[in-house]
Amino acid sequence: MIGSRMSNLFTLFCFLLTSISFAATDFATVLTVKGKATKLLPGAMSAKIVKVGDKVPQDTSLVTGKRSYVILRLSDDSKVTVGPRSKMVLSYSANESGSILSLLKGRLRTKVEKNKNKSLYITTRTAALGVRGTEFQTIYNPENKMTNLLTFNGEVAMAKIKEEDIKYKNKTSTRYQRTRDNEVKVIKTNYKVPVIGTDEVEDLINRRTPEVVKAGQFSVTVGAHQKVSKPVKISPVQLTLLYANKTLENSERPIRRDIADAKGLGLLPQADQVAPLEGYYDKNTGDYAPKSGGVIDMSTGLYVPPGKNSIFDERKGVYVARSIGDLDSVTGDYVSPKGLSLDPKEGFVVSKNSNVSKGELLKLKAISKALNSEMKTDVIISKDNKKIEAKFDPLTLRERFSKDHLLFSFGAYDLEVDEQSNSLTSNNAETFNDASFVELQWLLRGNGKYRPRLGLGIRGTGNNNGNKRYVKPGNQLFSLSVGLDYYLSSRLFLSSFVEIREELVPDYDGSNLSSANLAIVTLNNVKLGVQYDIAYINKFHFYTNFYLKTNFHKTDSAITVKNGFGFDARVGTIYHLSRSHQLNLSLFLDEQFFDVRNNDYFAEITNREVGLSFQYGYSF
């Protein structure tokens, strides 16, 4: 009898001790549940249905179904939404230092209350995040081992980690399923739970050189290197729609919305981006940034850049996506182009249920190949034993229109002054050899369609080694130009200039026909032409341009220059040292035709310049 009472008292004591232990380590409270979600408590052998009001202790795992989500309130009043098809472990909670959530797959939406003494940390198999007072979402896809982060406000530190950086312990969950024979089948699932404290995570993040992802910015683990991508601004439209989707829900039948359609939306602010807006990849350092203005696919975790021909929005500071798909107007999720779907390991593929003709199939394959090239799937998706080729990726013409360029040119040329129909003497011509010039141009950042430009030049007049009929008034000719470029296609753009340019003009004195002074006359010219990019071969870029020009009637002192015309032709090649630095070598021919008159004579004049130009360009 006494033994039985002692046994009962011991059982009661253990129960109370366990209850107190669980109460002391309560991690969170369930605020909302939609659909089917289960929890596996520490020490339990089978999972239970999650209900509103449940107290969730440390070391509990939560699993959500296809169209389900759970909203939790942590002990520090932060809120966490576990999205559809997700699995998360509430790994660690300490009143002094903060909490750790381990995302094993799926997506989380988190709103963290600001507390200078506490932090929230989130770990996946490939990344660690450190948070203080912010709102963000993160996705982890175990199929491609990618972790991505989108910050809505505040800042989040993100670092890529290795799986061996975190210790794990094995756990087993049990569930029961009734078979057709009305027998109960026991199904056991083994999985790993991370064992780590907040100090260890903080130290791990700091050792990995984290990226700080600010409001409106996105970062993702890069499969080819032990780094995360440089933070970039995503599409402002998707950012705003995703912010409104606080439960991370999916749509079975998405309502398509153009990625550029901001109508009716109060767009969220975005922090300025440090990485180049057009994106870049450095194979030597592993630094990578996708092109800004892209969109996130919530299912695969992949980032789809806005495309090579996207237009730059100067006001928002991002590229505007074109021809890469749409957004779901309800959830903000990405919707692939019709006939294509996103695979977590391969990128864009032709949809399995696409019933199209052979011609359409070839077209879809070509589109998917182009989109994967722009997305750089070989860089961002980890593929075992696959070597990444070092391939230079030049700026597209749209991207060049969206950046500032400083161009410094110098070179040599021969200047020929040719007289025809001279009223005083026979036709004459003189060549001035070894003339030189320097020129500075500033191509200002445009919106991808228009680009202003400014130019300032100084030309020498060379040496007249012929019959020396002409006496030069000086050795320098100046020019100043203002212009505008207009994008026509991926290889062609139109240019227009207003130019103030000094020219040499013969000025005869009727009393002396053996020689003439060369007067410097400032002409006002208008130029209109095109530049065509012929080909890109590795780091070489071949181009040609052709301009027509006209000068306006001008009277300078006793000389009158009538309206004339001319042309400027050039062919050249650019060698790209990098995306920011270029060397340019070109041959040019510049001819100007005009009539000249003074009190004693008139003549038809041709000024012809033939030369070689060297140029250094810096893009920023």
Of 437, 504, 502, 510, the closest CA to residue 472 belongs to 504
Q: Tell me the average pLDDT across 306-320.
A: 88
- 15 pLDDT band, cuts 50/70/90, is very low
Helix or strand holding residue 245 (H, E): none
pLDDT tens digits for range 336-357? 999 999 999 889 999 987 778 8
CA-CA-CA-CA dihedral for 431, 434, 438, 439, to nearest 10: 40
**Per-domain residue ranges for the chain?**
397-619
Task: Name the more confident of 306 and 448.
Answer: 306
Of 207, 117, 196, the closest CA to residue 157 belongs to 207
Of 380, 154, 371, the closest CA to residue 289 belongs to 380
Q: What is the pLDDT of residue 331?
A: 95
Task: Quote the tokens at residue 456.
Answer: 């300032």
Task: Name the more confident of 454 and 415.
Answer: 454
Q: Tell me the average pLDDT across 435-462.
A: 92
Q: What is the pLDDT of residue 405?
A: 96
Q: What is the pLDDT of residue 458?
A: 95
Q: Tell me the average pLDDT across 595-602.
A: 82
- 9 pLDDT band, cuts 50/70/90, is very low
- 107 pLDDT band, cuts 50/70/90, is very high
Q: What is the pLDDT of residue 610?
A: 95
pLDDT at 389 over 60: no
- Number of CB atoms found within 10 A of residue 180's CB: 5
Q: What is the pLDDT of residue 24?
A: 40
DSSP state of 143: T
Task: Quote the tokens at residue 591.
Answer: 């001819």
Counting other chains too, the contacts that 597-602 makes at CB distance below 8 Å and 24 or more residues apart are: 597/559, 597/560, 597/562, 598/507, 598/508, 598/558, 598/559, 598/560, 599/510, 599/558, 600/424, 600/508, 600/509, 600/510, 601/422, 601/423, 601/424, 601/508, 601/510, 602/421, 602/423
Q: What is the pLDDT of residue 327?
A: 96
In sequence order, what are the residues at sequence separation of 6 or more whose Cβ sits closer than 8 angstroms to the Cβ of residue 25?
Answer: 57, 58, 59, 93
Residue-averaged pLDDT of the chain: 85
Q: What is the pLDDT of residue 282?
A: 80
Q: Tell me the average pLDDT across 421-444.
A: 83
pLDDT tens digits for range 234-282? 999 999 999 999 999 888 889 999 999 999 999 999 999 999 998 888 8
Q: Tell me the average pLDDT across 430-456.
A: 91
DSSP symbols for 426-465 = ---EEEEEEEEEEEEEEE----SSEEEEEEEEEEE--EE-
pTM of the complete model beyond 0.85: no
Say how far apart CA 616 and CA 620 lie, in whole Å.
14
Q: What is the pLDDT of residue 544?
A: 97
Q: What is the pLDDT of residue 175?
A: 65
Q: What is the pLDDT of residue 10?
A: 45
The answer to whether 200 touches 128, Cβ cutoff 8 Å, is no
CATH class, domain 397-619, is mainly beta
pLDDT at 320 over 70: yes
- 391 pLDDT band, cuts 50/70/90, is low
DSSP state of 170: E
Say how far apart CA 364 and CA 386 lie, in whole Å.
25
pLDDT at 21 over 60: no
Give the CA angle between residues 143, 146, 152 to the nearest 5°.
135
**Any idea which of 91-105, 364-378, 494-508 has the lowest mean pLDDT?**
91-105
Q: What is the pLDDT of residue 201?
A: 83
Q: What is the pLDDT of residue 605?
A: 87
The pLDDT > 70 percentage for the chain reads 85
Say how far apart CA 159 and CA 27 lie, in whole Å.
25
Cα distances from 384 to residues 139, 144, 344, in angstroms, run 22, 11, 15
53 Rama class: left (phi>0) / alpha (psi -120 to 50) / beta:
left
Task: Name the more confident of 591 and 308.
Answer: 591
Task: Name the more confident of 209 and 569.
Answer: 569
Task: Name the more confident of 190 and 620.
Answer: 620
Residue 527 has phi, psi (to 5 degrees) of -120, 145
- 451 pLDDT band, cuts 50/70/90, is very high
Half-sphere exposure of residue 594: CA atoms within 13 angstroms, side-chain side: 31
Q: What is the pLDDT of residue 469?
A: 58
Say how far apart CA 441 and CA 275 lie, in whole Å.
25
